[in-house]
Each structure stands twice: as structure tokens, then as C-alpha cells.
Structure 1
Amino acid sequence: MRLASPIGYQASYDTESILEAIRFGKQNGFQAVELHLLSPNFQPEQINSAERCAIRDENFILLFHVPTNFSFFIDDKIRLATIERLKEYIDFAEELTAYAITVHLGRSMPLATQGKILRTWELWYEQEYERLYSSIKDIGMYMQDKRLFFCIENTSEMRYPLSYEVLESLLPELPLYLTWDIGHSNTLDHDEKQREEAFFLRFLHKVKNVHLHDNWGKIDEHNIIGEGNINWGYYLELLDSKERVLILETRPRELAVLSMKRLLNVWHHNNKLTK
């Protein structure tokens, strides 16, 4: 039995163009590619109209990942400029008929004091809550006429109490979705992992993108599948659906090819990894 979910890889520093990323995907049996916009090669300003037509003509599932230096917790002028740039990325992805675009919420700013780190959300909760709420609501309203799925990923800032509050308020009422990074969840301690997984299970219908990479439960290593302690059989059973895409986030891209082979082995051998 085949996986219902399309499987893709993430292209970043190892790829010169979007067309090259697509062709590598096709040549290696992938059905999708997620383009990381940290790469200057994928910026909207670098892609002319002829290239955009050629990309659409490839008829390949595209996803985008917003640069990870974005933040919704910073000074309002910078934050609002960030949102405008984000909307340009959304329009670019929509023009290329992409499936989804993923964003990190961005970290609340740190302040060191007496040997520990405080975050600005801990010091000015209401201000930070309002910044995040208004940012996400603005984007949610902007997405109302889009085919593209706007997905928020589970990085550390999504675990702030105010982030959970904002998402639980806005996810049910706006076209906002989720990217579940399984490797990130695996690095959490028992209680925090249970909390995060409970959140994703509650909003499982909102999960449109899944990031797959392995680790040993301590740090975010982005290892190939099988080089860690994640129970891939469990997550494949849980998440396999034609309504979401599985993205192998192992780099360089040749390691994503190996990861896909191992992932499919899990699926085809009764959810047990055979290397």
C-alpha cells in the first residue's frame, strides 16, 4: 500500500534555481519540494515572468518556507514591514500555484539578568500578546481569498503561553494552518512534548505540512531517518493523508533521497525501520 501523502524534500543552499529543485525532485522520485526563502536563488525579484511560467508548467507540488529571521514580537515598525514582506512572499507563492507556505513566529527578544534569560513576553505580556494577535489576524484576513495554505510551524516561540492562546483563538475562525515538525517535538521533555502533541492532535485537520528529520531527543540535529529515536511508524500512521505533504528536512538534498528510502521502508515493513 502506498502512502497517501505526497513526499517531498526541502531545497536550500544546495540548489541554484527553482527549476533545478523541481527537476531534482522528479529525477529522485519525490512528489513535492519545499523552497527555503533564505536562499537568494528563490527570491521573487530573481524570478522573471518566463521562469514563472516554466515553473508552473512543471506541474509539481511546491511549498515555501519563509526566512527564519522574521519575528512578530519586535518593534512595531519592523514588525509591520516584516508582515508586508511576508505578504509579498505569499503573493509570489500563490502566483506559482504553491500548496503551502510555512513561517516561524519569531523569537521574543532575550534580556540577560543575574545569570538567566528573560524574554520580552515575560516582562510585557499584554504588549507581546497584542503584537502577535494582530499580526496573525492580519495575515489570516489576507489569506481569505487565497488557495495557498499559510502554515505556522512548531518552533520554540510557538510554545510561549501567549502563542498557544493566540493560535487557539484564531485557528478555528481564519484560514490559518499548521506545519508539524516531528523532529522539533522529539527534542522536548515529557510534559512539554505531551502538551505540544495534544495541541496538534486537537488541530490535526489544520496540519497541511509535516517536517520529517531524526534526532536522539536532546537537540535539533536534522539527522536522516533512522539516525535517532523517533517512532516513525506511529507518526506515519497518524499523519498519512492526501490532505498534507510530508517534507524531508535533511540536508544536503542527497540525504533526503536516503531518508525517503528509509521512510518508505518503515511504511512497507509493518512500520519497522530496515536500513
Structure 2
Amino acid sequence: MPTLLEAASPESAAALCRELGLQFVELNMNLPEYQEWDFPLLQRVASRYQIYYTIHLDENLDPCYFNPHVAKAYLDAMLDAIEAAKRLRIPVINMHLAAGVYFTLPGEKVYLYDRYRERYLERLQAAIAHCEKAVAGAPLVICLENTGDFALPYKRAALELFLQSPLFGLTFDIGHDQTAGNRDKPFFLEHWNRLRHFHIHDAAQGKNHLPLGTGVLDIPWYAALAEKTGSRAVVEVKTIQALRDSVQWLRKQGLGPIIS
């Protein structure tokens, strides 16, 4: 399950996770509750409710930012999350691949990471090296999540660079892909063996994070792909009721492998 605003504290999230028979909570680093790591609390809660954690990094995190002071702050946040994951035995860190700043010109949108692609990829390579050093062989994978724009040429180049490292894998957000016209699906099918994580939620008419079974997605097909690749899956809806309804729908569909 994701971190929900209605159950944002570690205790309330873990209690709901256990009640619904789910296995893990994806801690959302955007929330104030997770700006500092309270390791004794997180360990105690995980043990009490027999759950574990994954991490969703700050959605704005961008270690390739051209301003070196800003980039360092983002990289430090990423390295801090890696150390926390090692300490808490977290198997997956999820992150977005930032699009960066763009200029809107007459008739086109110019992404600075595309215009200065060589510099961008150099910074990315340096960030990857820092992450590899920090992980140091721990059983951890950092997964890149699609937000509907993996088809952008500079993002494709960045993803190919990430996937040269065994530390990195892919998160398939199936709702984001649907609302983007399924533009990301070909990339995931081409690199299916690097899938390690899924964000599952329904979608329809440009709306994301709908309860499962209320949109147009073929959820069983994606569940089969998740099972084939040995991936974890987050039921990424936004309210407790939507999560309850989605878990109930999964069970009615016989999709038990996603649920403990």
C-alpha cells in the first residue's frame, strides 16, 4: 500500500496494512512524517505488525540539476535514503526520472536536459556511481517510475544508462501509462526482465489513481506480468476506502499472489 494522507504515521499505516492483509507500506518521502528517519519507531512498528517497507523518493528529486548546490542536496537526500534502506532492510527504492526545466518556444517545448544532453548524462553517470558506492552490494534495487514521458529521447538515453547498472530496475505505473496513451508500454515490454516494481491503479478519461475495477485497465494482464517478473506491487490509490475497495476487488478476481 502507499502512504495515505489519512494514515500517514508509521503506526497507522502499518495497522491498516496488516488489517487488509497487505505485505508492505511504501514510505512517501514527500510527507513531513518522513523527513527524518526514526529508526527505532519504524523497526518497532514493522515488527509489531509483521510488515516491511519500500521507499518512494521525493517526486522532485533530481541529482542532475545544473545548479551544483541544488544537485548536491538532491543527491544527499538520495544517499540518505539508501542508508536508511540498508538499515531497515528495505528492498526497493522508487524514484521518478525528473523531466527538468523546459523553455516553451513558438511551436515547441525545449527541455534543457535534451538541449544539453551530454552534460546531463555526465551528471547522471556521476550520480549512478555515487549510488553504487553507497549500496555496496546490499540487497536493494532502485526503480525508475514512468510518469508518461519515457518516450522522450533524452529520457530514453538516461534510462538506457541507468539500466547498464544492475543496481537499477523499473517501476511500471500502469495508470500513468494509460493516461499517456500507452506510450511507455513498448519500453517496458522491451525491458521486461528489468521490471521489479509496479504501481497499480485504474485509470479512465485522463484520470489516475482510481480504485481497481472502476476504469479501463486490464488489471489481470498487468498482475500476470508482475508475477512473471517477480515484482512487488503497490495498490496506489489515495484514500483508505479506495484501498479497501481495491483489495476486495483483487481478491474477487483471484489475484491473491499480489496479496499476502
- Please name the residue that 2:61 is paired with: 70
User: 1:240 pairs with 227, 250, 256, which one?
Assistant: 227
Judging changes above 3 Å, is the alpha-carbon distance between structure 1 residues 169 and 256 closer, same or farther for their aligned structure 2 residues?
same
Amino acid at match of 1:95: R
User: Is 1:263 aligned to residue 253 of structure 2?
Assistant: no
- Give how far 1:157 is off: 5.1
User: Is 1:253 aligned to residue 243 of structure 2?
Assistant: no
Q: Counterparts of 2:74 and 2:82 in 1: how far apart (Å)?
A: 12
Amino acid at match of 1:254: Q
- Give how far 1:111 is off: 1.3
- Give how far 1:213 is off: 0.8
Q: Counterparts of 1:64 and 1:181 in 2: how far apart (Å)?
A: 15
8 Å Cα contact 1:137-1:170 kept in structure 2: no
8 Å Cα contact 1:10-1:253 kept in structure 2: no
Amino acid at match of 1:43: Q
* TM-score normalised by structure 2 residue count: 0.87
- Give how far 1:56 is off: 4.4
8 Å Cα contact 1:12-1:39 kept in structure 2: no
Gaps of 5+ in 2: none
Judging changes above 3 Å, is the alpha-carbon distance between structure 1 residues 135 and 163 closer, same or farther for their aligned structure 2 residues?
farther
- Structure 1 residue matching 2:2: 3-state secondary structure: strand
- Please name the residue that 1:105 is paired with: 97
Relative contact order (C-alpha < 8 Å, sep 6+): which is higher?
1
User: Is 1:57 aligned to residue 47 of structure 2?
Assistant: yes
Judging changes above 3 Å, is the alpha-carbon distance between structure 1 residues 53 and 249 closer, same or farther for their aligned structure 2 residues?
closer
User: 1:23 pairs with 9, 12, 15, which one?
Assistant: 15
User: Is 1:219 aligned to residue 211 of structure 2?
Assistant: no
Q: Counterparts of 2:35 and 2:47 in 1: how far apart (Å)?
A: 19
- Give how far 1:107 is off: 2.0
- Give how far 1:115 is off: 5.7
- Please name the residue that 1:200 is paired with: 188
Amino acid at match of 2:195: V
Task: Tell which deviates more after alignment, 17-26 or 258-267.
Answer: 258-267
- Give how far 1:156 is off: 4.0
Amino acid at match of 2:110: L
Count of aligned pairs: 254
* TM-score normalised by structure 1 residue count: 0.82
Could you give the per-residue CA deviations for residues 190-239 of structure 1, whole angstroms, max 9, x where no partner exists?
A: 6xx2xx323223332322211001112x5352111122111112112222
Amino acid at match of 1:225: L
Q: Counterparts of 1:26 and 1:141 in 2: how far apart (Å)?
A: 35
Gaps of 5+ in 1: 1-8, 270-275
- Structure 1 residue matching 2:210: 3-state secondary structure: coil
What percent of counterpart residues are identical?
21
- Give how far 1:158 is off: 3.7
Amino acid at match of 2:194: K
Amino acid at match of 1:144: A
Q: Counterparts of 1:268 and 1:54 in 2: how far apart (Å)?
A: 30
User: Is 1:92 aligned to residue 80 of structure 2?
Assistant: no
Amino acid at match of 2:211: I
Q: Counterparts of 1:205 and 1:122 in 2: how far apart (Å)?
A: 27
Alignment of 1:34-183 (within 5 A): 34-45=26-37, 47=38, 49-58=39-48, 59-74=50-65, 75-114=67-106, 116-156=108-148, 158-183=150-175
Q: Counterparts of 2:237 and 2:176 in 1: how far apart (Å)?
A: 13
- Structure 2 residue matching 1:77: 3-state secondary structure: helix
- Structure 2 residue matching 1:12: 3-state secondary structure: coil
RMSD: 2.4
Q: Counterparts of 2:40 and 2:198 in 1: how far apart (Å)?
A: 31
